[in-house]
Amino acid sequence: MSRSWLLVGCVLVSFVHAARAEEPFRQARSQPVDVENIKLELDVDLKARQISGSATIELTPRLAINSLSLDAVAHEVSGVHRIGDDGANQALVHHNTGEEIVIEFAEPLVRGHTQRIRIDYRVRDPKTGMYFFGPSEADRDVPWMAWTQGEPNGNRFWFPSFDHPNERQTTEILATVETGFEVLSNGRLISKHATGDGKTRFHWKQDKPHVAYLVTLVVGEFTIGRQEWRGIPVTYYVDRRRASDMQRTFGRTVEMLDFFSDRFGIEYPWQQYAQVVVEQFIVGGMENTSATTLHRRVMHDERALLDSSPDGLIAHELGHQWWGDLLTCKDWAHLWLNEGFATYCEVLWTEHKLGADERDYLLYAKSRSARSGTALKRAVVDYRYEAPRTMFDSRAYPKGGWVLHMLRNRVGDDDFFRALERYGTAYAYSSVETSDLRRVFERLLGVSLERFFHDWTGRAGHPVLKIGTKYDAQRQLVGVTVEQTQEGEAFQFPLKIELSEADSSAPVVVEQLIDEKEVTFYTPVLTRPTLVRIDPDYTLLAEIEEEKSDDWWQAQLLSAPGAIERIRAVEHYADSKQDAHRELLAKVLAEDSFYGVQIEAAAALGTAGGDVSLDALIAGLENPHPKVRRKCAASLGVFVDDERAIAALAAKHERGDASYFVEAAALEALSKAQKKPGPELFLAALKRDSHAEVIRRAALSGLGACSEPSALDVLLEWTQPGHPRACRMAALGGVGEFLTRNDVAPSQRASSLDALLISVKQGESRIRRAGISALRHLGSIAGQPAIGVLKSLAEHDPDERVRVAAHEAAKQLVADNPASQELERLRGELDRLTTRNSELEDRLLKLEAK
C-alpha cells in the first residue's frame, strides 16, 4: 500500500491539471436480433398508477446468441417464457438489473430461426415514460388520465424493448381499462369490447414497422371528433370542456394531409391519423406513429386565433409522420433528419397557406435560433453528445430546417421535391443517416453536394459577412466586397445580388460563388442603382452586415419587395439616435404593408428611444394588427419611469384588447416601465382567464418586479398545487426574480428557498425545470444546499431534460459562490486522486504478480 501512495505523489502535480475528457463517441446500437413484433397485453389501473400484463416479443437472431438484453427500467418481472411453435411455454432463466432484463438460453439461438418470448411484468408509478394523473385534495380538476412519451428513451420505463432508433418492429396493444375511458394507440382499432367486469378492452394494431420510442398509449375521457381523408380515419381526442374549439383548432388537418402527400409525392403512409390533447404534456407535441400527442396549448378559442395559431405545431407533428416515422434517424447524431424536416414542414405549410412573406418571416424567426446556442459550437451531425436529449436543440430544429431551405434553393424546387420523393420512397420504413440523404440527391441530380453537407451539417457556425457595396460613376461599375469574418475556414455558397436602375424595368442580377474569406467583384451598370438587394430571395443562413450609402438603405426600408430586406433595413436604423431615422422607422410602423415589418419597426423604436419613438409606439397601440399592438406595448416597457409610456400602457390595460396577448404584453410592460410597481394591478389580473394563461403569467411576472413583501407571499402561494401548471411555473420564476431584486427578511428568504427546493424535488418535469431555472439565477442567495440538490438531480433525475438543466444550474451556482468553487476543486482533486490511486494499485498488483 505504501508504495502505491508514493507513486501517486509522483504523478499528482501533472494529474490534477488534466483536462476534462470530451464526450464519448456515440453510434447506433448493434442489432444481434431483428425484432419483428411486440405485443403488449396490459391492464391499466389509473388509480393505482400501474400497468400489469405481458409483453410478447417476436424476434429473429442475426447471430447465434446465448443471451438477450432488453431495455426495461424498474419492471417487476414475474416470469419469462419462450413460446414454442406448438404454443407450449418454456420458462427461461433471466436477470433483472433494474435497467435491463437479461434472458439466458441453455443453447445458443439459431441464426434466422424466429423466436417468441413472453415477459410477464408489472410497472408501478413509473418515474418517466408513462404518466398518470387524477384529482387530488390540492387539485380536484385534474382528470383521470394516463399517457406515454417515448422520445428519446422513455418507453423502456413501461415496456421491454430494444429502445433505440435503429430497431423497427410492428406493434400490437391490447389494453383493458375501466369502462367509460377511451384508449388510443398506434395503427388501427381492431376491436373494442366489454370484458364483463366493468372494464373494456381495446385492441390496437400497428402492422407497419416503426421504432420503439414512437409507440404510444393514452387512456382518458375524451370527446372524439371524426373525419375521413382518402378512406383513412382522421380523429381528434379532446377534453370534453374544449369540444367547441375542436374544429377551429384542427379544422385544417385534412387539407394538410392533402398538401403534404402531394408535395412529397408520397401518400400519407399510416392507417389512421389521430391527434389527442392530454393533461400536462411535457412537450408541445409528439409524433407517435399515426397518433400524435399534443399539449393543451394547441386548443384555441376564437379570441386566441386573432394572433396565435395551432397550425405550426400541427404541421410539424404531421410532417413527422413522413420524416421521423416513415424514415427515422439511425442514431441521435442524425436527429436533424427528423426535426429539421418537421421544422421545414412548418415553413412549407406557411408558404402554401399564407404566402412568401409569411414563409420568410417564419424563416427569419428561425434564423435567429439557428445562429445561436449550441449551433455556434457544434455541428448539426454530432457524434459526441452527453445524452440523447442534448441533441434536441437549435441545430436539429431551426438550423436543420434552414439546411433544407438552402438545399432547395441550391438545386431548385422541382429537383428538390423530386429528390425528396426518391429519398422517402427508397428508405421507407427504415433508419437513415445524413449520407443517405446526400447520396440520393447526388445520384438523382448528378451534382456534388459534399461541400454543402460539410459546411452546413459537418461543422459548427455560419457565415458572418461584411458586405460593402459602392458605385464607381467613372467606370459605371458597382463593386461588391464580401468578407467572411467568422473564425475558421470560409463557407462556400452562392450569393445573389439584384441592382435596380431607375431607367430599366429589369434589374441587373449577379450570382457569385463565395468560397474565400474575402471576395471582390464588379458588375457593369448603365446608371447608379436606386436599390441594392443582397440575398433578395432570402436563401442564406448568415449574419450580414452591410456598408452602403444611406439613400440605398432608405430605398430598401421603404420600397424593397421582400419583407426580410425591409426588416434588415429596420435593423440598420435601430441603433441610430437621429430623429430623422426614428421618423423613418415610425413611418414603417404606421404604413408598411406587412405586419412582420411593422413588428420589427416597433422593436427598433424601443431600442432607438426618444420622443419620436415614444409617440410612434403609443400610436401603434391602436394598430389594426394585434401582433403589432403586442410589440408596441412590449417596446413601451423600455421607457423606464416615463410618465407618458406608463399612462399609455395603463390606459390600454384598462380598456382591454380583443387579443389576450396584447393585454398580457401591456401588463408585463407596466412591470418594467415602473421602477417600483405596486402589486394591485397584478393581483387584479390574477382573476382573468386567457389562452395558455398568458395574462395570469404576466401578472405573476409583474409581482416578481414588486418590492412589497405581500407580493412574495402571493407568489409563494401560486407555486403550490391546485393552480394551473403554467401559472405555477411563472410564480416560481417570479419568486426568483423577487429574491434577486429585494432584500427580504431571513424568514421569507428561507421559506422562498424551501418552496423552490421542494418544486425541484417533488414537482413534475416542467415544474422541476422552472424551479431549477429560478435557482440558477439566485447566485449566492441559493447557497450550498441548493447546489447539493441540483447535483443530485443532475445525477439521478429520471427526466433527461431535468438532469441537463440541473447540471447547468449547479455549474452556474458554483461559479457564483467562491466558497463552493474551492469546495468543488477539492472534491474534484480528491476524485481524481482516488481514481488514479485505484489505477496504480492495479498496476502494482500486476507487477507483483509477475
pLDDT, tens only, 777-808: 898 888 888 999 999 999 988 888 898 899 99
- Measured CA to CA in angstroms, residue 248 lies from 178, 245, 524, 695 at distances of 31, 6, 54, 22
Amino acid at 304: A
Average pLDDT over residues 68-96: 95
| Residue 417: closest CA among 266, 230, 256, 269 | 266
Cα–Cα distance measured from residue 287 to residue 213, given in angstroms and rounded to the nearest whole number: 10
Q: What is the mean pLDDT of residues 634-639?
A: 98
pLDDT of 842 reads 61
d(CA 588, CA 523): 31
Q: Which three cell numbers, joined as nine digits, stand for 512?
A: 457569385
Q: Where are the beta strands (DSSP E) in 86-231?
A: 89-91, 94-96, 100-104, 115-124, 130-133, 145-148, 168-178, 182-185, 188-194, 199-211, 217-220, 223-229
Quick one: 685-816 is in which CATH superfamily?
Leucine-rich Repeat Variant (1.25.10.10)
The b/e string for 706-734 (b: 16+ C-beta within 10 A; e otherwise) is bbbeebbebbbebbeeebbbbbbbbbbbb
Instruction: Look up the pTM and report it.
Output: 0.92
At 350, give phi and psi (nearest 5°).
-60, -45
Query: What's residue 488's pLDDT?
Result: 95
CB 556 within 8 A of CB 588: no
User: Nearest CA to 410 among 263, 562, 565, 540?
Assistant: 540
User: Is the Cα dihedral 482, 486, 492, 498 positive or negative?
Assistant: negative
174 three-class SS: strand
Which of 444, 456, 333 is CA-nearest to residue 401? 456
- Mean pLDDT, the chain, whole residue set: 93
User: In the prediction, which pLDDT does 771 show?
Assistant: 95
Give the pLDDT band of residue 183 (cuts 50, 70, 90): very high
One-letter amino acid of 405: H
Q: Cα separation of 730 and 520, whole Å?
A: 52
Phi then psi for residue 690, to 5 deg, are -165, 165
Cα(287)–Cα(841) distance, rounded to whole angstroms? 51
Residues of the chain with CATH 1.10.390.10: 323-457
**C-alpha triplet 295, 306, 358: angle, nearest 5°:** 85
Long-range Cβ contacts of 300-305 (<8 Å, 24+ apart): 300/245, 300/248, 300/249, 300/691, 301/245, 301/248, 301/691, 302/248, 303/658, 303/659, 303/660, 303/691, 304/660, 304/691, 304/692, 305/248
Three cell numbers at 493?
A: 455558397
DSSP per-residue letters across 439-498: HHHHHHH----HHHHHHHHSSS---EEEEEEEEETTTTEEEEEEEE-SSSSPP-EEEEEE
CB 539 within 8 A of CB 511: no
pLDDT tens for 391-450 read 999 999 999 999 999 999 999 999 999 999 999 999 999 999 999 999 999 999 999 999
pLDDT digits (tens, 9 = 90+) for 341-371: 999 999 999 999 999 999 999 999 999 999 9
Type and span of the H or E element at 274: strand 273-277
CA atoms within 13 A on the CB side of 490: 14
CATH 1.25.10.10 domain span(s) along the chain: 685-816
Amino acid at 15: F
Residue 829 pLDDT more than 70?
Answer: no
Query: Would you state the pLDDT for residue 1?
Result: 45
End-to-end CA distance of the chain: 17
How far is 175 from 192, CA to CA, in rounded Å?
A: 10
CA distance 21 to 794: 18
Q: Which residue has the cell 460539410?
A: 454
Pairing of strands 168-178, 145-148: unpaired
CB 147 within 8 A of CB 130: yes
User: 364-404: per-residue pLDDT in tens?
Assistant: 999 999 999 999 999 999 999 989 999 999 999 999 999 99
pLDDT value, residue 783: 81
Give the separation between CA 738 and CA 733, rounded to whole angstroms. Answer: 9
Q: What is the pLDDT of residue 159?
A: 98
Which CATH number among 1.10.1140.10, 1.10.390.10, 3.30.420.40, 3.40.50.300 corresponds to the domain 323-457? 1.10.390.10
Q: Give phi and psi for 95, each to the nearest 5.
A: -125, 130
- Please tell me what DSSP assigns to residue 813: H
Residue 609: left if φ>0, alpha if ψ -120 to 50, beta else—which one? Answer: left
- pLDDT, tens only, 196-231: 899 999 999 999 999 999 999 999 999 999 999 999
pLDDT digits (tens, 9 = 90+) for 454-508: 999 999 999 999 999 999 999 999 999 999 999 999 999 999 999 999 877 799 9
Q: For the chain, what's the residue count?
A: 850
